[in-house]
Amino acid sequence: MSYQGKTVLITGGASGMGLLCGQCYAREGAKVALVDINGEELSRRVEEIRAYPAECVGICIDIRDYPSVEKARDEVVERFGSIDLLINCAGGAECRILNVHGEFHELPIDVFDFGIDLNLKGAVYFDHAVLAQMAKQNSGVIIHLGSITGYEGSANNVAYAASKSALMTGVTKSIAQAGAKYNVRCVCIAPGPVLTRPGMANMKTMMGRAAEPQEIVDLIMYAASDKAAFMTGNYILIDGGRHLFQM
């Protein structure tokens, strides 16, 4: 799974799964562009990756703003010449991020709007902008980060569940169809509980544990590689069998 000289653009790249993806791809020789809204943390992480050494650039934007997304794409292409892989990691449960809690029908509708804009529209915005570049190249891979919540649903974070469900099926299938004639694949990796936050450790799985973040990144790297060249338009659950509780 060689990534030497490839350009990887990662949203949500200053922390969590996005950061780990950036670190792993940089170690494999890729040129890495990290996108995040947290400028201070982003700058720190970019410098860490450059010290490997590796080529890395950080772009601080709000992924909910499409003109900013286009500018980010253009900056990456100008800097590195191509975008070979897009990994949409940015997102999170709206009530946790906004620290607003309560019954769905009691929450301000702005909370739902925020969750849809962040988790669904942000990914689709990057798909739209980057697919235009990949079509010119006649190559590329787009990876969506789904979630077991998209399979299970969530009364507490309806927008997050709806967004992840849409990414796992409708969006991933549609982008795979749109990209096929340009040799662009699209795959969704949908984790169960992952030890990126302490609270995940208490979520039930058939295997009795949450995933190590590296286990998820290893699957992302495989799905994006030439070894998975015949894989597109599908989602893969990597959840320790958590979905079996729903059967």
Q: Domain spans of the chain? A: 7-192+212-235
Per DSSP, 212 falls in state: P
| Residues known to be catalytic | 160
**Long-range contacts, stretch 47-52, CB < 8 angstroms, 24+ apart:** 48/23, 49/22, 49/23, 52/26, 52/27
**Amino acid at position 163, single letter:** S
* Backbone dihedral angles phi then psi of residue 145, each to the nearest 5 degrees: -100, 110
Residue listed under structure tokens 């060689």: 2
**Residue 145 bridge partners (DSSP):** 189
**Amino acid at position 48, single letter:** E
Which pTM value belongs to this model? 0.96
Rounded Cα distance between 129 and 216, Å, is 25
Domain 7-192+212-235 falls in which CATH fold? Answer: Rossmann fold (3.40.50)
Rounded Cα distance between 93 and 157, Å, is 6
- Angstrom distances, CA of residue 204 to CA of 152, 158, 192, 245: 13, 20, 9, 9
CA 219-13-7 angle, 5° bins: 70
Answer for the pair 236, 228: CB distance below 8 angstroms, yes or no: no
Instruction: Walk along the chain (247 residues) and give the pLDDT tens digit of each residue.
Output: 679 999 999 999 999 999 999 999 999 999 999 999 999 999 999 999 999 999 999 999 999 999 999 999 999 999 999 999 999 999 999 999 999 999 999 999 999 999 999 999 999 999 999 999 999 999 999 999 999 999 999 999 999 999 999 999 999 999 999 999 999 999 999 999 999 887 788 889 999 999 999 999 999 999 999 999 999 999 999 999 999 987 6
- Across the beta sheet with 184-191, the strand order is 56-60, 31-36, 7-11, 85-88, 140-145, 184-191, 235-238
CA 213 to chain centre: 13
> SS3 for 7?
strand
Position 200 scores a pLDDT of 83
Strands of the chain, DSSP E: 7-11, 31-36, 56-60, 85-88, 140-145, 184-191, 235-238
Q: Check residue 213 and give left, alpha or beta (phi > 0: left; psi -120 to 50: alpha).
A: alpha
